[in-house]
Amino acid sequence: REASQIPQRFLFYKPCMSEGMADRIIMEQELHKALANHEFYIEYQPQVNLKTGKIESLEALVRWRHPTRGFVPPDVFIPIAEESGLIIPLGKWILETACYQAKSWEAQGLPQMKVAVNLSLGQLFQQDLVQMVEGILQQTGLKPHHLQLEITESMTMNIDQMTQLLHELKALGIQIAVDDFGTGYSSLSYLKDFPIDCLKIDRAFVRNIQHDPNDEALVSMILSMAKHLRFKVVAEGIEEVAQLAFLIEGGCDYIQGYLFSKPLAAEQLTETFKELHSHAEEILDQFKYVE
């Protein structure tokens, strides 16, 4: 028999499993050192307001530059940080750093921008989460309405507990966004209980929007539902003008994606801010006469 005819699972099974698990344990130990060793940094990705053409917010995305492995993606290390509990100090560091940075851009005379920070499940169960957020706002001097926290639908927490927690966070004056909207399995009923400001449409829905009528239908449905519920909508992962055209047509509020900018280190963002703005304007100018 040809090797290609052997069922996949036999080829996959033995070496990967044990090595993968050993690797995970090593990575967990390395993660603990990484925070003390300053191996983490944050990149910021612009969100462009489609009505004004301005960069009005930035999503903070954590990065890990490992001394020998090189760049390790957050999709790989965040789940490990979750399981090991490191997400608590790491999450605090991310929030502090992002708030300090947003405040410092304000001091440098950049236009007022919101910063959006991802929360992970472990942080929602952190007893002093609300006090921690409040403390960081005080310490950094960032105005509460310039901070947006992103949660996801797949964060499995009792719905009453979650509602209560989100109301406490909202009471600080911050904004709440639902990230990766539509990719979880939760029922829509939470949308009427949670104090939500914003829905983020996942890249999975917009990637093939020009070719897949089902994606088109789903995105239209999300946009119209959000409008009725008075949520703002951010579309994530926009890479092409054709995708943008569809979202403008549908009344989407904000766009985040490589079309406008990749996530950038803080200094890089400061240096190229003007160019980023004119780049966004140039792209959006094409649509001025279409409406």
Told to check if 118 binds Mg ion by CB under 5 A, we report yes
Are the beta carbons of 87 and 125 closer than 8 angstroms? no
Strand partners, 63: 41
Q: Which of 30, 150, 153, 253 binds Mg ion (CB under 5 A)?
A: 150
CB 75 to Mg ion: min, Å: 7
Q: Give the nearer residue to Mg ion in terms of CB position, either 93 or 287.
A: 93
Q: Does 180 bind Mg ion (CB under 5 A)?
A: yes
Contact by Cβ (8 Å): 54, 277: yes
Which of Mg ion, ligand C2E, none lies near 61, with the C-beta cut-off 5 to 8 A by kind? ligand C2E
* Minimum distance of ligand C2E from residue 213's CB (angstroms): 22
Tokens of 106: 């304000």
In 74-211, which residue ranges form alpha helices assigned H by DSSP? 74-84, 87-107, 121-124, 129-140, 159-170, 190-193, 203-206
In the complex with ligand C2E, the residue whose CB is nearer, 2 or 180, is 180
Residue 234 interaction partner, one of ligand C2E, Mg ion, none, beta carbon < 5-8 Å per kind:
none
Cα angle 31, 74, 125 (rounded to 5 degrees) comes to: 75
Q: Using CB atoms within 10 Å of the CB of residue 266, give its burial: 0 to 12 exposed, 13 to 18 middle, 19+ buried.
A: buried
Helix (H) or strand (E) holding 221: helix 213-228
| Residue 120, contacted partner among ligand C2E, Mg ion, none, CB below 5-8 A by kind | ligand C2E
Residues of this chain that bind ligand C2E (CB under 6 A): 45, 60-62, 73-75, 78, 94, 118, 120, 179-180, 203, 236-239, 256-258, 263
| Cβ closest to Mg ion, residue 235 vs residue 266 | 235
- Site for Mg ion contains 179 (CB under 5 A): yes
